[in-house]
Structure 1
Amino acid sequence: MNLFLELRRHGKLADKRNPMYEKSRFAKFWIYLMIAFWAGYLIFFGTSFAFAFEGEAKEAYHILNAGLLFILALDFLTRLPFQKTPTQEVKPYMLLPIKRSRLIDILLIRSGMDTYNLFWLFFFVPFAILTVARFYGVTGVITYILGIWLLMLINNYWFLLCRTLMSERFLWLLLPVGVYGAIAAAMFIPEHSPVFEFSTTVGEGFIQADPLTFIGTVAVIALLYLTDRMVISHMVYNEINKVEETTVQVKHVSEYRFLERYGQVGEYMRLELKLLLRNKICKRALYSAGGVVVMFSAMIAFTDIHQENMRNFWVMYNYTLFGILFLSTIMGYEGNYIDGLMSRKESIYALLQAKYAIYTAGQLFPLLLMLPAAIMGKISFMGLISWFLFIPGFVYFCMFQMAVYNNKTTDLNNKMTQRNVGTGMQNLISFAAFGVPLLMLFVLDFFFEKATTEWIFTIIGLIFITTSRFWLKNVYQRFIKRRYVNMEGFRNSRQR
């Protein structure tokens, strides 16, 4: 316990000494505001769901319990851009007489205590009060909420396992894809799905405080905990001891010569492509995001999603995911060689132009993947185009402002032994990238028809895209005014 508290204190001190600590404090208010917005959103849906099935043959909690696995799958996907693997600084403590296993245990315990695991309770608590309490009283509500929290712990350690394995080798993406694909097949192919029956039984067991249900749930948590412990310990050992693969051979190296026609901007576009496609960390993040976009696009096209708000969320998620992964830490990778970039006049401006061109062009990937859904009538063509223009317009405009204030180097080598904690401003931008567009959509839909809302989003996106040259110039000029502060931060935060 003493070690846990001591490492927690070290983590707080490290955050305070972070070059971006002051900006993180400024962003906390807006982060809390976005959290309150999403909490209100979940409370609204939980309350609405409780009343939606009044008068039906089954109680609302029976219907929700049958879909618990779907909620867990959605929770898994939403963790991807927000929840980081618990990468406490392990390396300095390896020189002390502390067992590596104890350090890993502390990482896993801190992950289980993360408040993110409680966020879905904003949905389940009002729902349980309105539905479960009528039949099982306060005790039923408490045991049901406790069971839901245990399921979120299962999801937390399951996500941690998948994320850790995918950071080591991209092919591990097939693990969650295969698991959720098998669950989906078991749900929808048989006429009487055993998955729905199992999920309903688990939910009923939580409500009725069935000991076997709770024992089984805790056993699954323990199994995933021990698996995570073994996998993370092995990977941390390999990284600290610099165990590298030596059998990989490069058969073909692309120089992207077609970009030479664009001059200095083209050179930096080549640099950005090489960073994304050759560096292991960036490449795995890119492939992981691509796999999620493929999965979401297939779900939009080939599943029956009756709620239009959910379809809009998935479409927006597909467009926004790449930007959140790479633009919230914009200039972080360049912090490794910022001194070389600053030696050439206006090279940062050309770099910003190149980044904007690359990530805007990258939006073609989710657009093409979601075209089948538009052809099948699941989403409108105009809605697809409006999000396609709005995200690289307005949302990317917001994300590129971080280029002025980011001054923490993102390491290109270490995956497990570096502190991978986003600053307050970066977390705010990530929340805003999801929350602000949805809030705008909700407000505009309230006052206008759907077609009018889509045109408004399209026009806003076009305005920011066509004026990108001017606001990128403004970002560059503000960066130059802070260049010495930023360069000092980049140097101080490099891994040594």
Structure 2
Amino acid sequence: MTVRFLKLEWKQFFRSASFGKGIALKIIMAFLALYFIVSFLAIGVGGYYILKKEFPESDPLQLVNGYLLYAVLGDLIFRYLMQKLPVMNIKPLLMLPIKRSKLVHYILAKSSFSFFNFLGLFFYIPFAIVLIKEGYDVAGVLGWLFTIILMIQAVNFLNFLINKNNIALGAIVVILVSLIGLQKFGIYDVSAFGGQVFDAVYANPMFSLIGVAILAILYNLNYKQLRNLVYLDEAVSQKVEEATSADLSFADKLGDVAPFIKNDMRLIWRNKRTKTVFLMSFLFLFYGLIFFTQKSLNEVPAMLMFASLFITGGFALNYGQFIPAWDSAHYKMLMSQSFKYRKFLESKWILMVVMTSFLYLLSFPYLYFGLDIFLMITAGAIFNIGFNSLFLLYAGSFNRKRIDLNKSGFGNTQGTSATQFLIIIPLMLLPMLLFWVFDKFVGGNSGYIVVAAIGVIGLLCKKYALNFIEKKYIKNKYVMINAFGKEA
């Protein structure tokens, strides 16, 4: 039966109407996946020797074990935002004499072979092989590796249990941030505590059986939950939910753009893909921790500017690049209304600016890394507000791909075209290049000043820029109506 399911999905993939349309994008995504695989392999093979060189007095395995607790929580947050249950098209199969239990077991088994589950193994398996080569106990290493595999699968099934529960996501984020804070400020050695758990598994591989029990419990909980949903009447019935409306009267103070901003706020919070973009923008706040804590990167200031742009620009970059495709489902109706196109565009600009400003306020803790780093973040925020927000609006006039807002964000290339890849050049490379040139050849604070100055100039020219952008949208109005009217 499993072989038959696989054949059906294989045929569905190649016979899909969208298969040929996005073939170039699929190739790009494949190369991107290959890049991550090669990177993880390289770190897995060389990680032991790098840690041994940097920390000669410490055991590399214990160092890795100390950070596995953070890795589990981070992986869970990433999966919550990105991963979706690989539910195949089971509606036609529900009418056939196939046991629901087989369908459910197939769906859950398929989720175990997700790319998310394999990516980490390209680090852990080579790392384990190097450990054995360096004389570590074979049974202990294999028990440790087996526990890691069980842990990855457990996170996979735990994600499906808490998925769509915003309270659970908030709790996990708070726990992760709290643990990092306790470790960073020396209040409690979280790494030592987490490391002891995995060190014990290495010392006594039989402890890995605890992981088997945890995985079995999570699998069983998922099975029961999913089996209760696999009914024909559940599949064909239309899900009806009572729409709840938050009080957005505060936006009325913005004047003519208020109705558009209210609609955008409702659209963001009520749809899966836009909500994912919104929540992910807060995760980009922690992007700087990857760069600012690396001594080697401090010697390449341009890379620090790259991180600084992402810290405050997470929302603008991810939301702005798909304007106005977010409104593609009702774009035809929207364009039949009597309003100034300028107000529609200005509302998008205000939304990006407000979110960028809010993220900038949340970035104040980066003062811990020094005034130079915070000045870089400030310059990046001004650049995002003054230049990137307007450039993203302009780039949106070339969008021609419809977006289904109810679909998950990860692995969903719907709405993506060459435009999204081309706009990265001026958005990211321009400020990095300007900063590098002035920082290297002029020195002082000239790099920050030039990047920030571009943003200030953009703000001063906002009126003229929006007039130009408005004309571009009006010129392409009917082309976009026709494009968005087609099924993706």
TM normalised by structure 1 equals 0.71
* Whole-angstrom CA distance in 2 between matches of 1:470 and 1:129: 61
Corresponding residue for 1:338?
331
Q: Which amino acid aligns with 2:483?
A: N
The 3 A distance-change label for structure 1 pair 101 and 375 is: same
* Whole-angstrom CA distance in 2 between matches of 1:433 and 1:150: 38
Give CA deviations for 1:14-51 in whole Å, capped at 9, x if unaligned.
Answer: 7x413x852x2222444345445545654565536632
The alignment partner of 1:53 has SS state of: helix
* Whole-angstrom CA distance in 2 between matches of 1:85 and 1:174: 21
Greater length-normalized contact order (CA 8 Å, ≥ 6 residues apart): 1
Q: Please say if residues 319 and 388 of structure 1, whose CA atoms lie closer than 8 Å, have aligned partners that are also in contact.
A: yes
Corresponding residue for 2:483?
486
* Whole-angstrom CA distance in 2 between matches of 1:153 and 1:365: 36
Deviation at 1:359, TM superposition (A): 1.9
Q: Which amino acid aligns with 2:315?
A: F
Q: Please say if residues 386 and 458 of structure 1, whose CA atoms lie closer than 8 Å, have aligned partners that are also in contact.
A: yes
Aligned partner (choices 271, 294, 305) of residue 307 of structure 1? 294
Q: Does 1:199 align with 2:198?
A: yes
Corresponding residue for 1:2?
3
* Whole-angstrom CA distance in 1 between matches of 2:153 and 2:478: 46
Point out where structure 1 has 5 or more consecutive residues left out of the alignment: none
Corresponding residue for 1:27?
25
Corresponding residue for 1:370?
363
Corresponding residue for 2:412?
422
Aligned partner (choices 260, 268, 275) of residue 260 of structure 2? 268
* Whole-angstrom CA distance in 2 between matches of 1:75 and 1:37: 19
Q: Which amino acid aligns with 2:294?
A: Q
Corresponding residue for 1:469?
466
The alignment partner of 2:336 has SS state of: coil
Deviation at 1:78, TM superposition (A): 3.9
The 3 A distance-change label for structure 1 pair 280 and 341 is: closer
Q: Please say if residues 151 and 217 of structure 1, whose CA atoms lie closer than 8 Å, have aligned partners that are also in contact.
A: yes
Q: Find the structure with the greater CA-based Rg.
A: 2
TM normalised by structure 2 equals 0.72
Q: Please say if residues 52 and 60 of structure 2, whose CA atoms lie closer than 8 Å, have aligned partners that are also in contact.
A: yes
Aligned-residue CA RMSD (Å)? 5.0
Q: Which amino acid aligns with 2:264?
A: E
Point out where structure 2 has 5 or more consecutive residues left out of the alignment: none
Aligned partner (choices 206, 214, 222) of residue 216 of structure 2? 222
Q: Please say if residues 76 and 159 of structure 2, whose CA atoms lie closer than 8 Å, have aligned partners that are also in contact.
A: yes
Corresponding residue for 1:155?
155
* Whole-angstrom CA distance in 1 between matches of 2:252 and 2:389: 30
Corresponding residue for 2:375?
382
The 3 A distance-change label for structure 1 pair 253 and 242 is: farther
Deviation at 1:470, TM superposition (A): 7.2
Aligned counterparts, 1:70-109, within 5 A: 70-79=70-79, 82-86=82-86, 88-91=88-91, 93-109=93-109
Corresponding residue for 1:254?
249
The 3 A distance-change label for structure 1 pair 139 and 198 is: closer
The 3 A distance-change label for structure 1 pair 475 and 152 is: farther
Deviation at 1:5, TM superposition (A): 0.8
Aligned counterparts, 1:171-190, within 5 A: 171-177=167-173, 180=176, 189-190=187-188
* Whole-angstrom CA distance in 2 between matches of 1:153 and 1:442: 42
Deviation at 1:254, TM superposition (A): 2.3
* Whole-angstrom CA distance in 1 between matches of 2:434 and 2:104: 46
